[in-house]
Structure 1
């Protein structure tokens, strides 16, 4: 698992692209400049790893395009030691970016193939999320709640009440909502019963699948 000067140079070019697209959170950019995305892809895609594109990673899933990772991470407004729940570990790339930003990451994956593969990869690369769990993302992790932020990396047909309930007051939930095309949605919990909602345009994600463990 090599990370060369060439890879670093390609990451620098990617960061310039992200800045041109409006990503301005320095901590997001620094993390993505550091995390070797090519190591989260199948070897056949390595030469394309720093293009701003999504790629298949097996089990019908994809690694999100870098702009999407950056956009969601920027919406989270991550602070060091934030306790973040990630729904959809996938390749582990978004997990690694959040870990690099100093977050305490709790992540759930519902595809057993990816769960096993990505758990080993994150450990080998020494990104150390607090929890990597196999389970139903719609249910979250109530035993570890509440969370400072929750990020969903799959298209949800609706916003799960369980995730809203696991958010701290003042916490941020970033979730793409919709069927074929999703609207990137931010919920900020302003009280026990009230959430403020903002929308940030169309994105495309693989669907968030339900009832895996019933």
Structure 2
């Protein structure tokens, strides 16, 4: 099983056009991050070989039984092998598997127009099945099992939640900006100052000088 850090590094390298969160959630549901995982259509439990030789042995058995199956990290279905010119053995390579996943889901998105429809298309080949609850999976749909927390859906939720209650917080700004510390309140008494209504120029005259003038 691949660690989260290893998977994300591979996703950025091998499926660069797909957001790593999207790829991560699909891989979690499809294979549990096991690059040798094999899913048999119609069977709820998958096959989880420990190495590539074990995985190839299981594939040989499934072929003789005429089973429909998907392989690898992103569970690429056998119907896509010829279309993308790959073999089961090649798809047990995580980077090759991610590269084919990128091509399939990109095509689904272009035709479906939304991420939900693209995920349904990737899962089932059509735009509806992945949206419907399935009894074999506790009445959950593929979209629900994905968690619908891939980037665009997560962004949709955040945008809806961010503006759900605009009256919850009221921000009040002061009409003046005070810079520096507030002055210390003085306890000394200040005498009142009176200013003349007229401007006095020159020397101030004494009363005697005023009389003589």
TM-score computed with the length of structure 1 as normaliser: 0.29
Give the strand-richer structure, 1 or 2: 1
Point out the structure with the larger helix share: 2
What TM-score do you get using the length of structure 2 for normalisation?
0.29
